[in-house]
Structure 1
Amino acid sequence: MILNLFGFLISFITVILFLILCAKIINSFIKKKPFPKKLLFGSLSGVVLVSSIYIYEMYFFTFSEIDREFTQKGPGPIISPNEVYTASAYYEPYGGAAGGVNVWVEITNNKENYKVQTVYYSDAKSDFSMEWIDENTLNILNDEPDYPFSNRSIELEIGKEIYHENGLACISLLMKDEYETCYQN
């Protein structure tokens, strides 16, 4: 959150510097004044900073950035048939009164010191539920029946597959060893 706010502030300042730079460049050509090197350096520095923040957010994503302060417990916990895994869902409101709700599913491995792994992250729909298909496969239903293109339901093989609606987990360099297959919308 703070990194996003910092990125927005740097972006805003960079746009202002770029507009001033354009005006100064035009002025330097018309009135034969010296080229505004300091302003060019400031604008380029802002572009580099914003690009660095964007690259960091994209390629170094982890689920640790989920805002857990205002989370609400969702369906579950449900235990797998062989009692190795426990699936729990959580809701994360965002955007205030006009916002929405994200949902994520965490799997706790009861055999490996209760290791927790997030396997599903999406915008929450009105019809959400989970059920175990077999010992390692979790069916997640996340659908809005009145809207045909809103279905975010999936079956995931635990330990091998994850789902992230926006695909950030799929391109993250930090998470690439946590799954074999990553699905996105």
Structure 2
Amino acid sequence: MISIELKRAGSIILILFGILIAFITIILFLILCVNFIIAFIKKKPFPKNMLITTLFGVVLVSSIYLYETYFFTFSEIDREYTQDGPGPIISPTEKYTANAFYEPYGGAAGGVNVWVEITYNNEENKVDTVYYGDAKSDFTMKWIDEDTLFIQNDEPDFPNSDRSIELEIGNEIYHENGLACKSLLMKDDYETCYQN
């Protein structure tokens, strides 16, 4: 549990560091543009050091963005303040158990994310996250057959809010904003990844 919390704290620090570097890089770029214009008008030498520093900032910010996008795992879910959702729901052959959890975010003005974990009852300590998205008011789960779970996540008053899906366990996952679908670390965990 501690390693998950440390990894999440490290991820938050990395994002904040990336924002700081992006801000500094933008300022350096503006200074570079001014220096370039001055050098052009006054026929002074091109500001090479400022260019190198700005390019270094761009590379650093790009690296942080690429890391956060392509090295995503579900271990970054904030499990400290989670609330139990529907479940456990056992599959017809008792091969799997589905549990849903709610993750509040953003304080009073925020919202709630929901994720579904599948426990493999015949394999020791094997738990996979198969669904992650913004929680809607109508959230339920039911097994269609021994390997297919139907997840209903809908806001009836808003037709475009439906995040419901049928998932074949072991082959399909859903991540609302698609980070799991882009992740190089997770590409071997599923055959099909759905996103909104």
Q: What TM-score range do you get, normalising by the shorter chain?
A: over 0.9
Report the Cα offset of residue 34 of structure 1: 2.1
The DSSP-based 3-state class of the residue aligned with 2:30 is: helix
Q: Distance in 1 between matches of 2:163 and 2:97?
A: 21
Q: What are the Cα deviations for residues 86-130 of structure 1, in whole angstroms up to 9, with x where unaligned?
A: 111111111221111111100010111030100000011111111
* Structural mapping, 1:1-185, within 5 Å: 1-185=12-196
Structure 1 stretches of 4+ moved >3 Å: none
Q: Distance in 1 between matches of 2:23 and 2:32?
A: 14
What TM-score results when the alignment is normalised by the length of structure 2? 0.91
Q: Distance in 1 between matches of 2:83 and 2:14?
A: 24
What TM-score results when the alignment is normalised by the length of structure 1? 0.97
The DSSP-based 3-state class of the residue aligned with 2:161 is: coil
Report the Cα offset of residue 13 of structure 1: 0.7
Quote the residue 2:8 is aligned against: none
Gaps spanning 5+ residues in structure 1: where?
none
The one-letter amino acid paired with 1:7 is G
Q: Distance in 2 between matches of 1:41 and 1:91?
A: 46
Q: Distance in 2 between matches of 1:71 and 1:63?
A: 14
| % identical equivalent positions | 78
